[in-house]
Amino acid sequence: MAIVNGGVTAPKGYKASGIACGIKKNGQKDLAILCSDDIASAVGVFTTNVVKGHSLQLTMEHIKNKKAKAVLINSGNANACVGELGYDNAVDITKMTSTILNCTQEDILFNSTGVIGQPLKMDALNAGIPKMLSSLSSTGGNNAAEAIMTTDTVAKEVAVEIELSGQKVRIGGMAKGSGMIHPNMATMIGIISTDAVIEPELLEKVFKNAVNYTFNKISVDGDTSVCDMVVMLANGKADNSPISDESNDYQTFVEALNYVCDTLSKKIAKDGEGATKLVEIAVDGASTQEDAFMMATAIAKSPLVKTAMFGEDANWGRIITAAGYSGAKFDPNLIDIFIGNLLVCKGGVAIDFDEDVAKKILQQKEINISINLNQGTYFDRMLTCDFSYDYVKINGSYRS
């Protein structure tokens, strides 16, 4: 596997664009599209929040046929909780886009991200969509990645190249997300593209497995938003022998897709609002998968653990406390806790450890916290970040 440039437009047969159309007050890019030359297989995973944005509702209808030509995103406005107008506006936007791209309306997936409760600026979008489509380019991935950002500080994109049945195949991706991030989709949008030929049923299987272990293992602040998703398109332009069973090509494709999704997930967690550190919580030795997940999740979203990471304080008592209220079943007398490779708690009991070594570990930009319950064979992990002063500043003035 080789890392390549280009993000979502690295695979064959994709073009993208990202422009400023006037939705954001600051004049930054706010309208993006990824477009396949041909109709592609499409799969998606969507927020489990009962409240869903109007653009997302329409996309969930459109993707039922498991095909799409383009994914359109606006940022700066979530198009959520504005009544029938929001759904009607989403319909009008997909209709305009499909007419210009000469495809059916159902072939356009559309989503919105930003402030909830404000109608879309349709004048800006009506003028912006033709302009955006006229600038579609096979090198437009970075512009699109920038245009989907909200409180993100950096664009998030990645692409890899692998070889399947003697043909070069690429997988690319872009994502946005910085705050309101928690499992089962949050304020994140991820778009994955590939030129691989793969059976639709297998594509759905490998995609959902990848999402469950990557995008659904991020928690910045414990909030799950109303309008977000990760979708994947596969247009078959690489002309590899079709992936139709769990062959060697299948395994190679799975590893590459997992890498793309994991890389984007880490970029989201690392760019958490006000974050200064990426923190990975790993729970091993659990009696059940659910116990491992519940414990990793509770520790990852604990404000006290996250502020300790920011303050570079090896206060493992906050970690064991979060483990205790997580709902996971375990024997506290068996739990071991590591910060980095430094053992700080053995069998649920305090041990002497070098505070200077702990400080050096916590000064790193990427920190691992490991918990071994010593009761079974199940493992899970979560990606999170620290809580800094800036998190409150950003979210205290989000609409202004």
187 classed as catalytic:
yes
Report which of 160, 220, 159 is spatially closest to residue 188, judged by C-alpha positions. Answer: 220
Q: Which of 9, 94, 187, 194 is catalytic?
A: 187
Residues carrying an active site annotation:
187
